[in-house]
Structures are given as C-alpha cells and as structure tokens.
A and B are shown apart, each in its own frame.
Chain A
C-alpha cells in the first residue's frame, strides 16, 4: 500500500494547470479529491510520473444559480452538496446523490469534477448527470467547450475529454414546477459502490401524463448509461402502476450488469427493476407535488 515515486506539482491557477498538463502529457494525472486516484496509486494500479494537484487553484469550489442553471465548480466537495440549502431544496436529486457517496470522511475530500471525470460506471454522479441533462464544461490548451452529459461518457473509464483538457464546471438545468427527480442507490454497506442505483428526472403534466423523462443507471454497465427504453415507456403515457411497472421492466432489460461479489447478473437486473419502480414512483409523487 505504498505508491511508486512521482513528481508533485501544485499549480496556483487554472492557466498554469492547463500548461502543466500540456507539458507532461499522459505522464500527468490530476489530483482533485484523490479518493479514487490515491487508493489506485497505493496498490500500484496507477503509477503516474507526475501529479498535478489542483487543490490550490482559487475560486474552484462554488454552487450558484445563473441563467436558469446551477453552476458547480469542478472542485466542489461532495459535502458541500449536503450542506447547501440551495441544492437541498432546489436540486434534491443532487443532494440525494452526494449523500450516498461513500462516507462523510470521503465526502469532505471528494469532488464532483473528479467523480465525473474519472467516469467510473460505479460512481454515483454520472447517472444523475445523465438524468438531469447536465452540461460539462471543459478547458484545455485550445480553450473552453461545453459537452452534454449524454456525449461525455463514451467508454469504460473513458470520456470525451481530449488530452490536456480538464473539467472546470458542471451546469445543471433548474427543475420546472412539474419536475420530479430522485436518486435511489442500493449498496451492501455504507461506503460501498452501488450494487445498482437509479437516477430519475421526469415531468408530469396536470392530466397525469409524463411529458419528459430521463433515467440514468449506476454500475450496471461498462459505461454510465441512460435507460432510454424505460424513458420511452413513460413519455406520453399516464403515470400509474402499470406504466411504472412497464418502464422498470424495460430498465432491467436494457442494462448490462456483470456478476461480481455484489451479486449475479439476474439479481442486479431484478434490482434495477425494483429500484427503478420505486424511484419513478417517488419522482412522480414529487412532480405532482405530493411529496418532497
């Protein structure tokens, strides 16, 4: 549990960080919260030659509403989501997601940018960001660009980030009055990755029909995924026990889990069905203003 030797660089600005990343190329790894990187280094699964520690960059941790969106600085700690009244009341799905990540010690260090950029299909934020239709802002040697969450996760631990690019901000659209959303995770014990988790973000009109739905799934495929068939089973339909059941069965069918110590494939699929049903039900109740 002793990492290999590495050089440690601590840029004081974003420009300097981008510069260092360009100079060291693939030898460099960004250290944000370090909650995935440091364990990997300790068991020598990762042996980066250079660590670029971005914790010293100012104005990198923030949560603010602007232009109908929540702007989140990439270095915002998970614990900030738990403590923010704005998030808790305005973006309950983000609160619920952060709250079930690992444990309080980890959440005090872990960052949203790291959680997303690491692109571990077992991480919790990717599914939520797919569900809320977030935008990921990246910056590199060629400037800044915006990437839709749908386009961001493109393979096993792989993202649309180019070499030398880093995540600087995440933007989440503010929910409408008819939006209901939730994140429901099932884990073996606190601190574990999800056996499966479901992020639901939907709108229900006054007649009780689902007008939009986005569903993200955690740790049941190689890549953080949307359950598009499940979404289709809801959109345009009256939300009731039957349509929710149909959607949750679609989610179970379209996910692609692997067997591991968390359980066999059949269990994980069925768990997606159960969790999707419960999460959709909760989101619908919230959309209809029946619960918070």
Chain B
C-alpha cells in the first residue's frame, strides 16, 4: 500500500500527478536534436564499410567534392594530423574515430562528408570511391580465442584476441562445495547480441564559436557532464578547454544505455565544426543505428549449480566468454569489466560461488553497453534463474517450492552475499507468494497436468530476480576515474516557487515529475511549482548521468538531501520570524509551527519571502542548497514474475497467456510512473526472449540490421501485463527508494524462458537459448518427436 504525507495539490511521494513533461511530448512540441536548427548549419553523413575486416587501399573523394554543396570529405588521415583519429572508450580501451588503414567491422565509419544540405550529403557519400582489400574475419569468440586466430587488434601488441580476464569468489571453496553436493546441474546459456533500438537514433549538432573559442554540442547523451570532461581530456591538446565546452542534452527519445558511449560520429562532427567554423549536424539513420552503435549482451556462459536432494542450493560456478566486438566500449564502472555480473547468486542464500569472465575481440561492432539493464545484471539473472529451474526439474521439486526454500530470509538483511555484495533489504517470499496467489499457481499446475495428458503443451515459468542498481559508492564506483555520485541543486525563489537542477538526464523516465515530487515531499512546495532542469552542463550541477536505474538512488537522494538543507535553514528563519527557539518548532510538509501554539505558523512560502526580504542579521540571504550524494551502498530492487505459455506444436509459436509481475522498488515516488516503467520494461524483456537478436554470418555481415529483421515487439505482441508490488524500503536511501526502470527488463526473460522449457521438460528438453523464435522452438519439438 502506497502511503502519502502530502495533499494531492502538493503532490509529494505516493501521488500520481500527470507528468509535467507530457504536454509538450503529446503535442509534438518536444525539442530533440533533429529540432535544433542553427543559422549556416551544415550536414554530415558517413561513408561506412561494407566489409567486416579490410584494409583501406585508397579513398578517392574527387567525385564527391565535385558535387555542388559538398564542402569537405574528412578521413582518418585528416584527423591523424590533430591526433584525433583514435579515442579512448569508457572502459579505457581505444577505438577509432576514423580509420587510417583498416576497418574492423561492417558499418564502421570510413570517412565523413560535410555538405550544405542533408540530401547533398547523402548523394556525396555514394560518390566517395573507396578501394578495400578484404582481410580474414573472425566472428565467433571461441574461434577468436584459438591459437593462430586472426588478430582483430594487432595495435595492442599482443598475440591474442583476449582482452581481459576477471574473476571473483573462492574457486577452491566453491569446488569443494560442488563436489559435496548431491547433484551439480550444468548448462551452456547464450545471451544474444541485442540492440536498444531507441525510437530516436543518435546524433548531435556541434557548434564551434571561433571568436569566443567556445564549443557547444547538443547531443543524444545520457551523461552530458561526463561527456564534457571526456571531450576536454581527449581534445585538450587542440585547444578545447573544459570551461569552453558546453554539452546540452535536450529531449531524448529513449536511451536504455545506448546513449552513454561517445560515438565516432559525435567526434567527427565536433572536429568538422572546429575546422570549418560552422555548426555541423549529424543524425544517424535507423540502419546505421542498429548496425554500428554499441550493442548489448553477447555473453556465452557455462554455469554449474549444486543442489542437494532435499532442495538446498549449494554453490554456483560460472564461466563466461564476453564477445566485445573490436573494442571494449562498454560503459561499466572501471573496477568491473563485467559490470555487476557477480550479482549472479541472485535471490538465494548460496554458500559458495566463483565467477570468471574473459573479454574477447571479434570483427563486430564495439560495445557491451546495457539494454535497459544495470551493468550485466540481465545476464546474471538469466543465468541463475535458468539454473534454479533446471535444478528444480532435475530433482523433481516444484520450481516455486525450491525458490521458497532457498531465498535469503527477510531477517538476514542486510545480507552479505558470498561474492561480496551487501543486499540492503528484501522480502523475497512475500513477492513470490503474492505473484502465485494472483496467478493461481496451484490451479495452473493442475491444468498443466491435464493438458499434458491430452498432448497439449503448457508451461509455467518463474523468475525471482534481485537487481543491483544505483551505482554507486565512490569507494568502488567510477567511470574513467570520475566517482559515481550524483547531484541536485535547489533554489527557492522569493515567492516560494523553486527551480531544481540535476546531474542526471531523463530520456523518458519522467524526472521533471518525480524530482519535483521529491522536493514537494521534503519542502511542501507544490510539485507543479518546482521547475526541474537537467542536461545543460553550463547550468546543471555535475553528475554522472542517467543509466543503470541510478537516477532515483543517486540524484533522487541528492534532491531529498538538498531539500533538507533548505529546510534546516528555513527552520532558522522561521524561528527568527516567530521569535521562538528552533527546538520548539514542528515541521509538517509546507510549514513550521510552534509546539503548543498551533496559531504560530510560518509557511515555506512566507519563509522563502523572508529569506530575501527579512532574513536574520548575520545569516546569508537566499534559500538554496546543493548536494552531491555519494550513496553508502547500492540498492537492491527485486521481484517475482510468473509467466504462463502455450506452445503451438505445429508452428512452434509461443503464446504468453498470462504474465504477473510483482515488483519491489522500495518506497514509490509516483505509482503511475512506476507502473509505466514496469510495462515498458516488461515489453523490453519480452523482446529478446521471443524476438530480438542481431547475428552475423561467417563473413561478418550483420543480419538483423534493419527493422525488417530486427523484431521489436509492438502492442500486438505484448501480453496483458498484470502488475503489482510489495514495498520494502531501502534502509540507507534518504527516501527509502530503490529505482525501478530496469527491473522488468532484467526479470522478464527468464520467466518466459523458464515457462517454455517447463512446457517441454517432460519431453527431455533442458534448455533453449533466447530468442525462442517459432523456427527454434519448432526444431526442438521435432527433435523430441513432437509432431504438429
């Protein structure tokens, strides 16, 4: 039950006011990159490689340059003069801006055309003549690890495609526990390469003012402040100094992790603007976005889970090959090359675990970013939830009962996991029980038995996931050295209205509403009178941005803390105005009153006015505060999802009959926004389960590089999501909230996968990799003797 302390007019936590940003979005009045038009603005388009690995023999731009309106063709050799042909990735790897000699994946940038009009630029890229000499291609990460494999990155000076090895946990103790277990279930699990496919592709407008020496870049970025610093670090040697770089992230049409990296297109556009002295716009088209921007997932895992006959889970061993394409361009915290993958012991009280991950180069686009997933948590959850289901089936125990038996108990929190995390709070039994009650779990199991007797295929799948979000505490979390705090700055105006600015950047999450609600909750100023701004590095306080479900855990916390600083000052002013001792004042949202004298009241509006007109002598005027919030711990949202599927034996089609999602994200700021986040997240969890995958043929050609074959599910494919929640506040977060944006994307795939395998287990099916397309399921059916 969501409780409220403020009136609906004030609209603090627990209320669901209409989103403040929606009037402009609904009316088509948003301001996206494509809407930005500057006088004299030029257009950039990019020539891309048709080959996955090739030497560039020559680039002949003469025909392109002969087209009226074409101003320049920029190559890697041009950038090399300024030392800008390579750039660092957020994982301290290196990545080409433009190649000087070889291309490493299909659709890689080869050179860029600058023209006066978009259409002329498109004509010009066709007129650039590039001669390539094809080189051997390595696509499969296992083959890439074999001795003698084609080297993707000879520039690294190593005789291997291996990038890094990372491990955590005690291998010997884990091995001993597994050996002592009654049974060890082992399974290969592949989590395919997918793409966030946000509705807005990436792009920027770079505008360099030669007189002021100032660069302004409007760009599709989830982390404008970090981008500014990166630009200053990589381009400082050509005169770009951080105080003269302004990054503006305007309205963003979805990010999901895909708009965290710095893409070559941004850098080329910036270089072009600096060289030419005019604004340059670059907007990817859909196919460029799908084929060249950072992908997500691509984890090849072998997992072993120990289980005793009584249903006790013992220990987990995981080995993973991480295919990073030609560069490690993930956006993980520095210390964690595999992200927070070691949350893979999940919701279970395991006594041992050991995880090893090896990063590998291949001739594929770079990345390893998220897909609405906090740093490899989807990979972790899919692995453990699949393994738990396999273990349950192997020992003949109901998967729900096995989970209930092994969940971390409510009184074990804060719980220290065997891989080193400290889970803040949870009540896993309650969430699963609630989901089982809503869906009618026991009756469904009876129905399944009846259907099976008739030869019909029906499955029930559970996923009881634990998320790990809100990165993160500065002792462990940084990106390129910048600690992962986030910030809020609140100014209360004389008339009692406020502006609040943040280091994060909404891409559709509704920050303008939820942050205003946090301020309303803490100060009693109506949320409608709190203006929220983000995304402009010249005005907003520094922060690491919005991804990994971190906005509420970090900047949301900063909002509450800054508001409390303001409240502390307001108390002093109120005491002065009421001629009372501070200790005698009582706060309720929006006003202080004198204890025992309810008529002696000062509202926050009266106090704000006094802060500028009648403040106590010796006190600074004004009513504002800034807070940089360094979270003491991560937050651990969780939930239990149950999915019911029916399988068509003829076509192999999986139909989701019901899907119940119980989420616990701690205290809820805006229930309607949370519900919307869960609906969107579940649909993005459905996507890779049944539809989405980007694969490559042996020559490294991208299959699925357009919406013809990259199958983003629509409302038609989405089942009716039945959502609900439990509330287990985070004990360390100022408002007890945990973050919710990614939980459903993380939690949904194993529920669907487990349901499909559950429908087929009696036929001898142990596992099917996602996406469970009709063709893939059909093959499994026929291989197991099922005729349709």
Contacts and interface: CB of A to CB of B under 8 A. Distances in A.
Given A190-B717, A192-B711, A278 B126 contact: no
A192 B650 CA distance: 20
Given A188-B691, A189-B691, A278-B650, A267 B713 contact: no
Given A195-B774, A264-B775, A190 B123 contact: no
B127 to A, nearest CB: 11
B210 interface: no
A198 to B, nearest CB: 12
A189 B655 CA distance: 12
A188 B711 contact: yes
A25 interface: no
A274 interface: yes
A43 B287 CA distance: 9
Interface in A65-117: 103
B27 interface: no
A191 B714 contact: yes
Contacts of A270: 778, 782, 788
B287 A1 contact: yes
B25 to A, nearest CB: 20
Contacts of A267: 652, 774-775, 778-779
Nearest to A186: B651
A262 interface: yes
A277 B650 CA distance: 10
B116 to A, nearest CB: 14
B170 interface: no
A2 B284 CA distance: 11
Contacts of A44: 126
A159 to B, nearest CB: 23
Contacts of A278: 650
A103 B119 CA distance: 29
B717 A189 contact: yes
B383 to A, nearest CB: 26
B411 to A, nearest CB: 46
A189 B713 contact: yes
A119 to B, nearest CB: 18
B651 A263 contact: no
B703 interface: yes
B48 interface: no
Contacts of B775: 195, 262-264, 267
Contacts of B778: 263, 267, 270-271
A258 to B, nearest CB: 13
B695 to A, nearest CB: 8
A124 B119 CA distance: 34
Contacts of B774: 186, 188, 195, 263, 267
Contact of B651 (A4, A103, A274): A274
Nearest to B125: A2
A193 to B, nearest CB: 8
Interface in A1-32: 1-2, 4-5
A241 interface: no
B479 interface: no
Contacts of A262: 775
B241 interface: no
A207 interface: no
B689 to A, nearest CB: 13
B123 A274 contact: no
B232 interface: no
Most chain A CB within a 10 A radius of its CB, from B286, B650, B774, B775 = B775
Interface string A265-282: 001001100110110000
Interface in A239-292: 261-264, 267, 270-271, 274-275, 277-278
Contacts of B709: 261
A5 B653 CA distance: 43
B122 interface: yes
A277 B286 CA distance: 39
Q: Size range of the interface on A? A: 20 to 34
Interface residues of chain A: helix, strand, loop or mixed (majority):
loop
Interface string B695-736: 000000001100011010110110000000000000000000
Nearest to B695: A261
Contacts of A5: 119, 123
Interface string A169-201: 000000000000000001011111001000000
B784 to A, nearest CB: 15
Contact of B285 (A1, A188, A263, A271): A1
A4 B287 contact: no
A82 to B, nearest CB: 15
A270 B774 CA distance: 12
B16 interface: no
B73 to A, nearest CB: 17
Nearest to B121: A2
Nearest to B775: A263
Contacts of A271: 650-651, 778
A199 B652 CA distance: 21
Interface in A110-136: none
Contacts of A189: 691, 711, 713-714, 716-717
A42 to B, nearest CB: 8
B421 to A, nearest CB: 37
A175 to B, nearest CB: 27
Given A188-B691, A189-B711, A267-B778, A1 B773 contact: no
Contacts of B123: 4-5
Contacts of A2: 118-119, 122, 285
Contacts of B285: 1-2
A5 B774 CA distance: 41
B676 to A, nearest CB: 22
A267 B652 CA distance: 10
Contacts of A191: 714
Contacts of B773: 188, 263
Nearest to A196: B651
Nearest to A274: B650
Contacts of B118: 2
B703 A261 contact: yes
A132 to B, nearest CB: 25
Interface in B771-788: 773-775, 778-779, 782, 788
B126 to A, nearest CB: 7
A43 B118 CA distance: 15
A267 B711 CA distance: 19
Interface in B275-309: 285-287
A191 B691 CA distance: 13
A270 B703 CA distance: 24
Contacts of A195: 774-775
Nearest to A271: B651
Interface in B250-294: 285-287
Which of B651, B704, B717 has the largest number of chain A CB atoms within 10 A?
B651
A252 to B, nearest CB: 12
B45 to A, nearest CB: 8
A191 B782 CA distance: 28
Interface string B627-661: 00000000000000000000000111100000000
A43 B48 CA distance: 14
23 contacts: A1-B287, A2-B285, A5-B119, A43-B287, A44-B126, A188-B711, A188-B773, A188-B774, A189-B691, A189-B711, A189-B716, A189-B717, A190-B714, A195-B774, A195-B775, A261-B703, A263-B775, A267-B652, A267-B774, A267-B778, A270-B782, A271-B651, A277-B650
Interface of B: 118-119, 122-123, 126, 285-287, 650-653, 691, 703-704, 708-709, 711, 713-714, 716-717, 773-775, 778-779, 782, 788
Interface of A: 1-2, 4-5, 43-44, 103, 186, 188-192, 195, 261-264, 267, 270-271, 274-275, 277-278
Given A1-B287, A275-B651, 14 more contacts: A4-B126, A44-B126, A103-B714, A189-B713, A190-B714, A192-B708, A192-B711, A195-B775, A261-B703, A261-B704, A263-B775, A271-B650, A271-B651, A278-B650
- The list of the 4 closest CB pairs from A to B, nearest first, reads A263-B775, A2-B122, A274-B650, A1-B285
